[in-house]
Amino acid sequence: MYHESIPRIRPRHESDITDAATALVQVHATDGYPVEGVRDPKAWLTPPGFIQAWIAEFDGRIVGHVAISRPRDEAAVSLWLEAGHGSEDKTAVLARLFVIRDARKRAVGEQLMRAASEYANDIGIRLVLDVMAKDTAAIRLYERLGWQKLGLTTHDYGDGQHAEASCYVSPGA
C-alpha cells in the first residue's frame, strides 16, 4: 500500500489545495463527511477566519488534513466562553479533519491533531470543535487525546437537516 510506515505531517501550502480537495471528495464518497457535501472542496478547505492547516502524506500523496480558524458563531466556542473560560481572541476552532480510508489505522488523524494542538499551544490559544454523534471514531480519538466534552449542540446543514453533535475543548497546555 504505502512504502512509508509513518505519515509526514507538515503545514499545508497553497499548492496542496487541489490534491487535498481530491482526498476530501474521496472521504465524502466513503464516509459522507462533510455532511454538507463537497460542491466546492477547495473553498471548504479554507474556511472564513482561516489560521493554519496541515496535511498528512504517504509517499508524497495527501491522505489527511486538518485546519484551525478563528471563531464564527460555533456552538463549541459559545459553550467554552459561557463557562467563563478564556476569551474569543484566545480561542480557535479545529475543523476540516479527515483521513482517507486506506490510510486509516496508522495514527494519521492523531498526528494531525497533535500538529494543530502544538501550534495552538505555541501561540497561546485553546482549540474547540464540534463533532457529529455519528462520527464515533473521531469522538474516540478526541477523548483518547484528552479533549474534554463541553456539551451538546445541533448541527444544522443542507435543506433543513439536523444532527446531534458534541462540543469539545482541547487539553490545556
Each residue's pLDDT tens digit, 52-101: 999 999 989 999 999 999 998 899 999 999 988 879 999 999 999 999 99
pTM score, whole prediction: 0.92
Give the C-alpha separation, 98 to 64, whole Å: 5
Cell of 35: 455532511
Cis amide linkage into residue 7, ω under 30° from 0: no
pLDDT at 166 over 70: yes
Among 116, 102, 29, residue whose Cα is nearest residue 65: 116
* Domains with residue ranges and CATH for the chain: 8-169 (3.40.630.30)
